[in-house]
Structure 1
Amino acid sequence: MADFQANTRPFAELDRAGRTRRLRRLAEAALTAYDVPVARLTPLAHGLNTAFRVDGADGHRYVLRVQRPDGPGPARVRSEMAWLSALRRETDLVVPRPVPTRERDLVAVVADPAVPEPRTCVLCHWVDGRFVDERLSAPQLYAVGEFTARLHLHGARMNGLDRGRVDDLTEFGRTQVDGFSAAVVDRAVARTGDERIRDAVARVRAVRAELGFGADAFGLVHGDLRQVNYLFHRGRVRAIDFDDCGFGHYAYDLAVTLGALRHLPQREELREALLDGYRSVRPAPATTDPRVLAAFATLRRVQLRLR
């Protein structure tokens, strides 16, 4: 009886473990779309999306991501995979390599009776490496800066992909023509009770206007390049989880990386190393201007509060 009740309870009433069990079955169904012999499926740390490590009977390892229902839809996820594929073809940057389905699609949309809505799924080859946080060193952040600059150089050429803006204030803002409109800001202030949001938005508006939207300052960016999304292997930087990628100012991407270092005692040393590494590839004074980075860092903190 207990098992029957667990299987018939509404998805929204399940705890994380219960939802993961349901999504595992959906993931198993998704994997039938790929020419990958599966030996084992293991849930990974649960974020906004749900991911599974896939150990193949062929000796290869993969990651299957089951998209959250309120996240990017199939077209936008397909664009994310298209950028990753282009990065693998056209650069030596190490990022996840998408696995196409048997139908040569980069996504699989799968439904399961126990999950309320169809889910977009993607499969990528596993990226080896280790994550570092407290022991991050200046040479490592210099390498992250170089990597980020090279990523931006490639992102500047990726016009026309169906990805949104990374700097819209809220999810509601992404549905509006202007992600900083009065209606968007009013909702954010009402939700938090913090009038300082208006000043933060005004500063970012001014900075965006100053930077402009040319390819020297604006393009396709990672959007969430924090310690949990970059890793090191044999001295090289690698990046994963491009789920938040979209169009924005390159300074926004740097501000996200810098903001994630705030808890570290060596943060100033790491900050300078990151920016030095970035400038070694892209000597762009406006992108690395402290005032510009501070404005985007404040925006990022507001965005995280409103998630």
Structure 2
Amino acid sequence: MESGPFRACAGADGRPSGVLPMKNRFTVSRTGETGILCCGFRDQKGNSSLVCEQSMAPFESLVRPSSEGDAEAMDRFAVMIQGSAGCGPHSQPRITLLGKTYSRHSEVSTYRIETSSGLKYVVAKRICDPNPRTPQSFHTEYSALEKIRQLAGASLVDSFPDPLFVSQEQIVLSMVPGAPLDKKLKQTANALTGWFSIKRMRNTGRQIAEWLGRFHELTRCEDIGHEHGKYAAQLESLIAKCETLGVAGPGLRRVGDATLQLSRALASYSMPAAANHGDFIPQNILFHNGKLGVIDFASYSQRASVYQDIAHFVGYLVLLGGKPTYCKKPLDVLASTFLASYPLSLNERLLRPYLIRAVLRLICDGKPASNYLRRVQNRNVSGWLLRLADVHERLPFSI
């Protein structure tokens, strides 16, 4: 007997004969010494399938019982399994663990599932650091993906993960194939070969703008005003954190003063609002055979200014362009094409304060490399942030 969220029953021939949802138990009927393991997943068309394995280990890694007893989530996942039990008496797919990676707060495991209809892939993220925000981020991401899945039209189909299961300890998603854009930029926008990638940068910028624009259009909300008080509090917090990291030094206070003056002047402005991805940066933008995918919706919010996602993407490129190993020209072309191709009309004055805040947040988060900024660009950071805050200075890219 093994403990877990479900009970699976095996027939006399050792094949699964049915699955019953249980709140906090997993029981495997055994034939001799072989245990038949069952779990379920849903492909991106909403079809459920039965997954089996001759070993307990892959399943326990994929769906570990929640110590919090998240009964509702367990039941939802169990229903998927129960509905898939009629997939055929001779269907016996297998799960293979392909690899693991680690983020600051979670372990990410990728699995290949061999089924009669072909290979499928899922990703399981499990908490490995007791950060109190991580369980909430799992539920936020799961709910966000469910909502997006309901709204997504043909233009976004297969471009984001399908939510399969969530608990207090983990989340299971379908895998979006592709290589992250940040890795591609190392190859195509580096100081040696970047000048030969201008055309590719334009195509990439248009493709990313098209996806983000469609995402914002599908989740569009009533316009919102610029909240200077809230912005000022967030800016002060980021500047204080940057100072503790040793980034930018005393000049950062002048950046804060100039940015607050700009923000105060925008208090009467209204902005288009939509759902916010929350971390729209190259690490979370994937490309596979010319198709774009977006992952990591853990910081999703239902309503925010569209400038937040836009500024995060462009701010990352601004930071990257300051590194000597990269060529600034193709990155500026990528940013300019992205902004020009974004379908909603943008206001440069509104973009500036959001871009400054995004750059500071990326530095605090270590994206792309706060330690690099401390070592090499400590004197330059405040200089180009001041230029961003000055409406009389041209942006390093066009809208």
User: TM-score, normalized by length of structure 1?
Assistant: 0.65
Give the one of 235, 239, 246 matched to 1:192.
Answer: 246
Gaps (5+ residues) in structure 1? 1-23, 101-106, 110-119, 159-167, 170-176
Residue equivalent to 1:241 = 296
User: What CA distance in whole angstroms lies between the structure 1 residues aligned with 2:142 and 2:152?
Assistant: 15
Q: For residue 277 of structure 1, what is the aligned residue in structure 2? A: 341
Pairwise CA distance, 1:40 = 1.7
* Separation (CA, whole Å) in 1 of partners of 2:98 and 2:268: 42
Name the SS for the 2:271 alignment partner. Answer: coil
Deviations 1:67-94 (A, max 9, x none): 4432634344323222212212212322
Structure 1 residue 46: Cα displacement: 2.2
Is the CA contact (8 Å cut-off) linking 1:286 and 1:292 kept in structure 2? no
Aligned residue in 2 for 1:113: none
Q: 1:123 aligns with which of 168, 172, 197?
A: 172
| Structure 2, unpaired ranges of 5+ | 1-57, 67-73, 82-92, 189-199, 223-229, 372-399
Higher strand share goes to which structure?
2
Structure 2 Cα separation of the partners of residues 71 and 208 of structure 1? 32
C-alpha displacement of 1:257: 1.4
Deviations 1:137-195, CA, capped at 9 Å, x for gaps: 2111111012122223344449xxxxxxxxx99xxxxxxx954567x755653453733
Higher relative contact order (CA 8 A, sep 6+): 1
| Offset at residue 301 of structure 1 (A) | 4.0
Match of 1:256 among 312, 336, 351: 312
Deviations 1:198-239 (A, max 9, x none): 344445545555556998344432232222211223433210
1:30 is paired with a residue whose SS is: coil
Partner SS, residue 63 of structure 1: strand
What amino acid maps onto 1:97 in structure 2?
Answer: D
Q: 2:146 aligns with which of 85, 105, 108?
A: 85
Q: Is the 1:95–1:127 contact (alpha carbons within 8 Å) kept by the matching residues of 2?
A: yes
SS at match of 2:360: helix
The answer for the alignment partner of 1:108 in structure 2 is 167
Residue 62 of structure 1: CA displacement? 0.4
Q: Give the 3-state SS of the residue equivalent to 2:296 in structure 1.
A: coil
User: How many angstroms does 1:292 deviate by?
Assistant: 3.7
Aligned to 1:99: 164
Give the superposed CA RMSD: 3.9
Question: Could you say what secondary structure the match of 2:103 adopts?
Answer: coil
SS of equivalent to 1:54: strand
- Cα deviation for residue 197 of structure 1 reads 3.9
What per-residue deviation string (whole Å, max 9, x for no partner) do you get for residues 111-141 of structure 1?
Answer: xxxxxxxxx2111111123333233521111
Q: Which has the larger radius of gyration?
A: 2
Q: Is the 8 A contact 2:285 2:295 kept in 1?
A: yes
Separation in 1, partners of 2:276, 2:246: 28
Change beyond 3 A, Cα 1:202–1:282: same
Change (3 A) 1:73 1:226: closer
TM-score (norm. length: structure 2): 0.52
**How big is the shift at 1:274?**
0.7
Change beyond 3 A, Cα 1:41–1:255? same
For residue 276 of structure 2, the aligned residue among 214, 221, 229 is: 221
Residue 232 of structure 1: which of 282, 287, 306 is its match? 287
Q: How many corresponding residue pairs?
A: 249
What residue number does 1:11 align with?
none
Percent identity of the aligned residues? 17
Question: What is aligned with 2:126?
Answer: 66
Partners of 2:265 and 2:137 lie apart in 1 by 29
